Amino acid sequence: MDSTTKKKVSRYSAHIVLIVASFFFLIPFLWMVSTSLKPLTQVFTFPPEWIPRPFMWSNYTDAMEYIPFFTYLRNTIVITVLSTLGAVISCPLVAYSFAKLRWPGRNILFIITIGVMMIPGQVTMIPLFLLFEKFGMVGTPYPLIIPAFFGVPFYIFLLRQFFMGLPDSLREAARIDGAGEFRIYWQIMLPLAKPAVLAVGLFQFMASWTDFIGPLLYLTDSLQYTLSLGLQQFQSQRGSEWGLMMAVSTMMTLPIIVLFFLLQKTFIRGITFSGIK
């Protein structure tokens, strides 16, 4: 074999390996969408069929009636948007202070912040529940929103690393021009940190959208449920309606996939940044 055919063969075999592996990752998705469009009689056929006959688009509208889908959607959006807002307001502010401002105790507090990341959520879960209970907030979405406004250690850490990489000369130039600390932060440093802030916003969005244990603990009234909790309830009550459940699962996953395709670079950069630096 000469070297060009050898190269060709290795390229083809690379594609074959990749395609086979891709199937393992893709098939569950296709199966979810396929099932979501099947009539109930076809769901229970063995061996399984891939193409729905006929396409039951009504599964989607039925699913929205079986569970108060739009109520759950609205609850999820409210919690997700507000907690994301909280995280992107508070975390850069704190991270900037850790990275660029000088004050006594700063370094010790930063070390404590890293230490706090190691605490499993279960340790603080019970006292926090009792705290929110005392303030009468159990049964409201506030416990799922308020903490984000006070900073999230992992995001503070990520953003601090990012701010450390920005040059101080910009701040000095702005100070000579007479800008105050807050203006320097708001008009110069924060815009420069936009990619990192976007990544943090995305992380918080994903975390809130898919959160399960938080809503399970704090949302007691079924009209306050999020999509995660709603789907879990639906599953435990009507466990054999696979078409409808796959429709709800698809609708719940879709916004994240759309977001991923819109912000692919930010996604990847954020994950890489968290792992390497």
Partner 1 sequence: MSENAQKIEPANNSEPPYERQLKLVPAKKKSFWSKNKHGILFASPWILGLLIFYAIPLFSSIYFSFTTYSILQPGEFVGLQNYKDLFTDSLFWKSVYNTVYFAVFFVPLSIIFGVALAMMLNMNVKGMGIYRTIFFLPTLVPHVALAVLWMWLLNPGFGLVNGLLSTIGIDGPAWLGSVTWSKPSLIMMSLWGIGQAVIIYLAGLGDIPEDYYDAAKVDGANWYQKMRHITLPLLTPVIFFNLVMGIIAAFQQFTLPYTLTQGQGTPANSLSFYVMYLYDNGFKFFKMGYASAMAWILFVIIMALTALVFITSKRWVHYQGK
Residues 188-247 binding partner 1 (CB under 8 A) are 206, 209-210, 212-213, 216-217, 227-229, 231-232, 235-236, 242, 245-246
| Strand, helix or coil for residue 12 | helix
90 binds partner 1 (CB under 8 A): yes
CA 262 to chain centre: 14
170 and 188 in contact (C-beta within 8 Å)? yes
113 binds partner 1 (CB under 8 A): yes
Cis peptide before 167 (omega within 30 of 0): no
List the x/- string, 65-84, binding to partner 1 by CB under 8 A: --------------------
| Among residues 1, 51, 108, 123, the one that binds partner 1 under rule CB under 8 A | 123
Q: Choose the stretch contacting partner 1; rule: CB under 8 A; options: 54-62, 77-85, 190-198, 268-276.
A: 268-276
Q: What are phi and psi of 8, to 5 degrees?
A: -60, -45
Q: Could you tell me the smallest distance in angstroms from the CB atom of residue 97 to partner 1?
A: 4
Angle, vertex CA 147, rays to CA 143 and CA 149, nearest 5 = 125
Pick 169 or 223: Cβ nearer partner 1: 169
Q: Could you tell me the smallest distance in angstroms from the CB atom of residue 148 to partner 1?
A: 9
Residues 18-57 binding partner 1 (CB under 8 A) are 18, 21-22, 24-29, 31-32, 35, 43-48
Q: Could you tell me the smallest distance in angstroms from the CB atom of residue 236 to partner 1?
A: 4
> What Cα–Cα distance (Å) separates residue 155 from each residue in 21, 78, 95, 96, 177?
33, 21, 8, 12, 31
Count the residues of the shown chain that bind partner 1, applying the rule CB under 8 A: 98
Q: Could you tell me the smallest distance in angstroms from the CB atom of residue 167 to partner 1?
A: 8
Residues 248-267 binding partner 1 (CB under 8 A) are 248-249, 252-253, 256-257, 260, 264
9 binds partner 1 (CB under 8 A): no
Q: For residue 230, give both structure tokens.
A: 């709603």
Q: Could you tell me the smallest distance in angstroms from the CB atom of residue 71 to partner 1?
A: 17
Q: What are phi and psi of 231, to 5 degrees?
A: -65, -40
140 binds partner 1 (CB under 8 A): no
| Among residues 9, 112, 164, 262, the one that binds partner 1 under rule CB under 8 A | 112
Contacts of 117 (CB under 8 A, 6+ apart): 153, 154, 157
| Among residues 2, 102, 136, 191, the one that binds partner 1 under rule CB under 8 A | 102
| Among residues 100, 137, 154, 166, the one that binds partner 1 under rule CB under 8 A | 100
Q: Choose the stretch contacting partner 1; rule: CB under 8 A; options: 56-64, 66-74, 144-152, 190-198.
A: 144-152
66 and 238 in contact (C-beta within 8 Å)? yes
225 and 7 in contact (C-beta within 8 Å)? no
> What Cα–Cα distance (Å) separates residue 201 from each residue in 44, 194, 195, 207, 271?
42, 10, 10, 10, 13
The C-alpha atoms of residue 71 and residue 63 are separated, in whole angstroms, by: 13
